[in-house]
Each structure stands twice: as structure tokens, then as C-alpha cells.
């Protein structure tokens, strides 16, 4: 009987602690190729396109800026809020990288939005991508400063994150034969121009 009481107390304690932690919702990915921000739904269901499938085609070495917005809710009791919120992304399953999402605004009495527009101060992942199709996986992370300890809260689609593709088109390079023909043509035009002046 004592074991059941102890187990019940441990479970009740764990549940009350879990309910004190805050959380994240309404995650959006923002992108720009130089003409404003395009919003994509990650954890949200709005009229925006979803962060899935092909989201952009860019030229190799071109700009593909990444930003994000996510909303947090506070926990109850001893919870004091988030210290930092970020978009964690990886390209083609590589190392995770983090983009800080600064506090942007209060959206009601208790929820906060964290946002980094896709701009020159965000992540420009396009310049480092080689030609081909690349998968960009995103997740949202928040670190809280709960009294008596801290923790990390994830909005990550059950640990899988959300993935979309970016197609990078190879930069065109003139063929050596084309360059040689062009230079030969210029030489012929120069020769004809010189003969005309003499004649």
C-alpha cells in the first residue's frame, strides 16, 4: 500500500511540475530571396502555405534568407518566462544551427511572440548551397528560467521537425569553345575595321 501512495505522490508531483512549464505554439518559417518575406506554416494551420515540399528555387550563390516567428505561453506558479527562443535548423541532415528569435511583442495578457524576419540580420543559407535539391529541417526551441532550475522546451513535431526543399540551379559557365569563337569573331571584326581605314 505504501508503494502505491509513493507512486501516486511522485506522479502528482511530476504532473504539477510539467503544468508549470511554459510552451511554444504557432510556429512559422519566413523566407526571402530579396523581395519581402514569405510566411510558411510549420506548427500552425493558417492560409499560408505549409513548410513542406519545394519552397524555393534559387541560383547558385544566390540569397535565401531564413527567419521565423513563434508564440510562447507562460507556465503557472513558479515559472518566470523564457530566457531565449530560437529556430534550430539543419540542411541535408547536417549539424544543427541556431537562429536567435528576439522578443517581438506581447500578443495578449500572457502570450509572447518571438520573431526574426528573413532579412540581412537573419541566416542566409542560400550562399553556401551547392547546385541540387536540399532539405531544410526546422524546429523551435525555448530555454526557460524556472525558479529552482531551468529547462528546454521544444516545438518540434514529435521530434521530427518540419522539412522543406530548396532547389539550387547551377551557375552557368561559358564553354571554352564559345569563348574562343567570340574572341575569334572580335579579331576578325578588328582586322576588317583596320583594312577599311587603310583602304
Q: Report, as an integer, the average pLDDT of 144-166.
A: 85
Residue 143 bridge partners (DSSP): 84, 152
Residue 91 bridge partners (DSSP): 136
Cell 541540387 belongs to residue? 132
Contact 40, 28 (CB under 8 A): yes
Q: Which pLDDT score, from 0 to 100, does residue 18 have?
A: 44
Q: Report, as an integer, the average pLDDT of 9-27.
A: 58
**What percent of the chain has a predicted confidence (pLDDT) above 90?**
55
Q: Where does the pLDDT of residue 175 fall: very low under 50, low under 70, confident under 90, or very high at 90 and above?
A: low
Q: What is the CATH number of domain 25-171?
A: 2.60.40
2-11, 87-96, 111-120, 138-147, range with greatest mean pLDDT = 87-96
Q: Report, as an integer, the average pLDDT of 116-135.
A: 93
**Segment among 17-31, 50-64, 82-96, 174-188 with least mean pLDDT:** 174-188
User: What's the Rg (C-alpha) of the chain?
Assistant: 27
Amino acid at each position: 500500500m505504501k508503494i502505491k501512495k509513493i507512486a501516486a505522490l511522485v506522479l502528482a508531483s511530476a504532473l504539477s511540475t510539467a503544468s508549470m512549464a511554459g510552451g511554444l505554439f504557432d510556429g512559422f518559417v519566413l523566407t526571402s530571396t530579396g523581395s519581402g518575406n514569405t510566411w510558411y506554416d510549420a506548427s500552425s494551420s493558417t492560409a499560408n502555405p505549409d513548410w513542406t515540399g519545394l519552397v524555393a528555387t534559387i541560383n547558385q550563390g544566390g540569397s535565401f534568407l531564413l527567419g521565423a516567428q513563434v508564440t510562447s505561453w507562460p507556465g503557472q506558479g513558479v515559472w518566470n518566462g523564457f530566457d531565449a527562443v530560437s529556430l534550430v535548423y539543419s540542411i541535408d541532415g547536417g549539424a544543427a544551427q541556431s537562429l536567435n528569435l528576439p522578443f517581438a511583442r506581447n500578443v495578449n495578457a500572457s502570450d509572447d511572440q518571438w520573431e526574426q524576419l528573413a532579412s540581412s540580420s537573419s541566416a542566409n543559407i542560400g550562399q553556401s548551397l551547392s547546385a541540387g535539391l536540399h532539405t531544410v529541417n526546422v524546429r523551435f526551441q525555448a530555454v526557460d528560467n524556472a525558479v529552482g532550475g531551468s529547462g528546454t522546451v521544444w516545438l518540434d513535431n514529435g521530434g521530427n521537425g518540419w522539412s522543406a526543399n530548396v532547389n539550387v540551379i547551377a551557375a552557368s559557365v561559358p564553354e571554352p569553345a564559345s569563348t574562343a569563337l567570340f574572341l575569334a569573331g572580335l579579331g576578325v571584326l578588328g582586322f576588317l575595321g583596320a583594312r577599311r581605314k587603310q583602304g
